């Protein structure tokens, strides 16, 4: 098969399935991992797709939205097959930011409904929502106080309110935490959405919040929707997933936004050959990083290590944690990527002491 034919087949698969992995390309076309990566790089340079950590996704038109023609209440069901695994993982991670006695604004987007299954149940806090359907799903929660914004309800959807009345309602509140999503989020254009009413409402919530978290699964990251809400750096934290566009993560982190990349759970790997440190795969090992020693100590203490563990334990950004993981592998301190399993530590404490004499 000629390379042009392979490229046409790759684009066809992406068009039909919404993604393709490096492993898919290797298996289907019997090429090396380097050839698979080169194919995707060439196609991205031609403006035909967007590369991610594990493969590629299609480009979307401005204003294009993902279909949501299912019962929104069913998003909260743990076994709902209509919920994409990466959406669930992002919602689960973002829910961890809720603390006792917090006043939290929760998005009425699909991620807000998905998050219901992960909301804390062991302490009290307050949720403010702008969706009647979402509020209805929370009415029997004894540990949550729920406020619903006023305004005109959108019919035949999530029964949410984003008009001027709703915006004025939240102007009289202050939030500890804003759990937000949108039509698209990228470093250049920031957060964007499809209607002026929604954008104005979201701007108001963002301004009233002490901490703003943007939940952007890979399908939303690097995407530009119709109307801008705010700059990318209005958010303190980005929570995204394992298939996020790698170049976009670095640009967003440079703006001062903390980037959290959730890891793929073993049940959802589906034989996709993914490298956890793909962002830093071509980087030379940086043995002079002052956090390298601390990272090795974390690895030795746990017996295993991953990018997300280093982010949490050492308060590192994603890019730096990924580079340290890459350096540790090339120094034979940890083993190679192995699906969702954390990297194994290959050295002993004695080796570590000898290494840093």
CATH number of the structural domain spanning residue 330: 1.10.10.10
Interval 239-255 mean pLDDT: 89
Return the pLDDT at 80.
53
147, 222: one domain: yes
CATH number at residue 161: 3.40.50.1360
Same domain as 289, residue 246: no
**Would you state the structure tokens that stand for residue 73, as one six-digit string?**
């209440």
Q: Is the same domain home to 211 and 93?
A: yes
pLDDT at 343: 86
Is residue 223's pLDDT more than 60?
yes
Q: Looking at 213, 232, 266, which one is the last position of a domain?
A: 266
Note whether 323 and 258 are same-domain residues: no
Please indicate, yes or no, whether residues 41 and 80 belong to a single structural domain of this protein.
Answer: no
For the stretch 123-134, pLDDT in tens is 999 999 999 999
The predicted-structure confidence for 71-93, as pLDDT tens digits, reads as follows: 545 555 544 545 778 999 999 99
**pLDDT in the model for residue 61:** 57
Q: Find, among 336, 343, 275, 332, the residue nearest to 305 by Cα.
A: 343
Q: What pLDDT sits at residue 288?
A: 84
62 falls within a domain: no
Regarding whether 157 and 231 lie in a shared domain, the answer is yes
Mean pLDDT of 90-104: 97
pLDDT, greater one: 69 or 173 = 173
Cα 224 to Cα 185: distance, rounded to the nearest angstrom = 6
Res 306: pLDDT: 84
pLDDT band at 311 (very low <50, low <70, confident <90, very high): confident
- Verify that 83 and 166 share a domain, yes or no: yes
Alpha carbon distance 103, 119 (integer Å): 13
Q: Is 67 within a domain?
A: no
Residues 144 and 256 in one domain: yes
Same-domain pairing of 189 and 294? no
Is 319 inside a domain boundary? yes
- CA 220/CA 228 separation, integer angstroms: 14
Q: Could you tell me the pLDDT band of residue 231, with boundaries at 50, 70 and 90?
A: very high
CB 342 within 8 A of CB 308: no
Please tell me which of 275-289, 306-320, 326-340 the model is most confident about, judged by mean pLDDT: 326-340
Residues 78 and 27 in one domain: no
Which range has the worst mean pLDDT, 61-65, 128-132, 209-213?
Answer: 61-65
Whether residue 340 is predicted with pLDDT greater than 80 in this model: the reply is no
Residue 163 domain-assigned (yes or no): yes
Please give the residue range of the domain that contains residue 346. Answer: 275-355
How many domains does the chain fold into?
3
Nearest to 205 by CA among 291, 124, 112: 112
Is the full-model pTM beyond 0.85?
Answer: no
Q: Is residue 148 part of a domain?
A: yes
What is the H or E stretch that residue 213 is in?
strand 212-215
Kindly state the average pLDDT of the residues 118-122: 95
Instruction: Say if 66 falls within a structural domain.
Output: no
Q: What is the mean pLDDT of the chain?
A: 86
- What pLDDT was estimated at residue 115? 95
pLDDT, residue 182, reads: 96
Q: Residue 91 corresponds to which tokens in the numbers above?
A: 């919602």
How confident is the model over 132-164, as pLDDT tens digits? 999 998 999 999 999 999 999 998 767 899 999
Q: Are residues 193 and 232 in the same domain?
A: yes
Higher pLDDT: 177 or 306? It is 177
Listed residues 240, 266, 292: the one ending a domain: 266
Please give the average per-residue pLDDT across 28-34, as a whole number. Answer: 90
Bigger pLDDT: 65 vs 344: 344
One domain for residues 168 and 229: yes
**Residue 69: band (very low, low, confident or very high) from pLDDT cuts 50, 70, 90:** very low
pLDDT at position 284 is 58
Q: Which of 52-66, 86-100, 252-266 has the lowest mean pLDDT?
A: 52-66
């Amino acid at each position: 098969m000629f390379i042009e034919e392979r490229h046409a087949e790759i684009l066809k698969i992406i068009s039909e399935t919404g993604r393709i992995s490096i492993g898919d390309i290797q298996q289907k076309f019997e090429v090396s991992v380097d050839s698979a990566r080169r194919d995707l790089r060439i196609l991205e340079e031609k403006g035909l797709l967007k590369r991610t950590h594990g493969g590629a996704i299609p480009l979307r038109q401005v204003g294009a939205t993902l279909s949501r023609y299912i019962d929104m209440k069913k998003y909260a069901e743990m076994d709902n097959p209509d919920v994409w695994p990466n959406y669930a993982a992002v919602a689960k991670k973002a829910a961890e930011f809720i603390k006792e006695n917090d006043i939290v604004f929760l998005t009425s987007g699909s991620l807000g409904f998905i998050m219901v299954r992960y909301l804390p149940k062991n302490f009290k806090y307050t949720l403010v929502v702008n969706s009647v359907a979402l509020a209805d799903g929370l009415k029997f929660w004894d540990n949550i106080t729920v406020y619903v914004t006023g305004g005109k309800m959108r019919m035949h959807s999530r029964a949410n309110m984003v008009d001027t009345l709703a915006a004025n309602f939240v102007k009289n509140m202050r939030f500890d935490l804003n759990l937000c999503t949108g039509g698209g989020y990228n470093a250049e254009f920031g957060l964007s959405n499809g209607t002026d009413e929604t954008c104005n409402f979201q701007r108001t919530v963002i301004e009233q919040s002490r901490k703003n978290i943007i939940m952007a699964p890979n399908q939303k990251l690097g995407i530009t929707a119709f109307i801008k809400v705010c700059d990318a750096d209005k958010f303190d934290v980005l929570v995204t997933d394992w298939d996020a566009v790698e170049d976009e993560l670095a640009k967003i982190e440079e703006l001062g936004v903390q980037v959290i990349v959730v890891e793929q759970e073993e049940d959802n790997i589906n034989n996709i050959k993914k490298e956890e440190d793909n962002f830093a795969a071509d980087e030379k090992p940086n043995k002079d990083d002052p956090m390298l020693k601390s990272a090795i100590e974390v690895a030795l203490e746990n017996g295993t290590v991953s990018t997300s563990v280093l982010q949490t334990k050492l308060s590192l950004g994603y890019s730096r944690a990924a580079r340290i993981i890459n350096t540790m592998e090339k120094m034979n301190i940890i083993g190679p990527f192995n699906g969702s399993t954390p990297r194994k530590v290959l050295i002993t404490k004695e080796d570590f002491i000898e290494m840093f004499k």
